[in-house]
Amino acid sequence: MNLKSLFRAPDLKGLFTFLVAYFLVISGFAQSTEERNHGCVKNHNYSFAARLKNYPFNLSSGIQLVSFNENEAIDKDSLPRQNDTICYSRLNEIKTVTFSQVDKLTDILYNYGFRGNTHIMTIMDCYNPRNAIIFLDKNGKAFEYIEICFECRQTRESSPRISLGELCDQKLNMLKDFFNKAGIEYGIK
């Protein structure tokens, strides 16, 4: 054995191939774990009374599910309003939520969340809402709302005080199913 063979240059091509394969496997594992963690699970068991303490449920005397044509909206990308008042004449469908439906709605919002830790959020580059949840005060006047674009998988809340809980991947599908069971058709099919 001579000194030259001991100090031979490493096989860079083999090392490079190994490193690329290693990082692909690791990134594939991380991505699949990340994707799994975005899934919805029932990770809380807050009582109905506890869920009703969340704003704006705590101040609402009624809740409505609505649909609207985006061409009827004044801003073309929001619930039809004029001077901060919802234009009910421009809504397609209006369903008043029952007490048991409020239980189901708050269960979806506050008891379901991410399966695990998440680090990456994907946001669609569109917003064409056709549905909303409207919260009514003791006088029957709308005071807050949550717009929902099921197509683009986005929401917009009228107040930063409104929380939808953790927006795990299936939560909007659960809300879409909730709207459907309540009798809303437009914007969810």
- What is the β-pairing status of strands 62-68 and 91-96? antiparallel
pTM of the shown model: 0.77
| 61-71 confidence digits (pLDDT tens) | 999 999 998 66
β-partners of residue 142 are 136
Tell me if residue 63 falls in helix, strand or coil. Answer: strand
| 125-140 confidence digits (pLDDT tens) | 788 899 999 999 999 9
Residue 55, sorted as left (phi over 0), alpha (psi -120 to 50) or beta, turns out to be beta
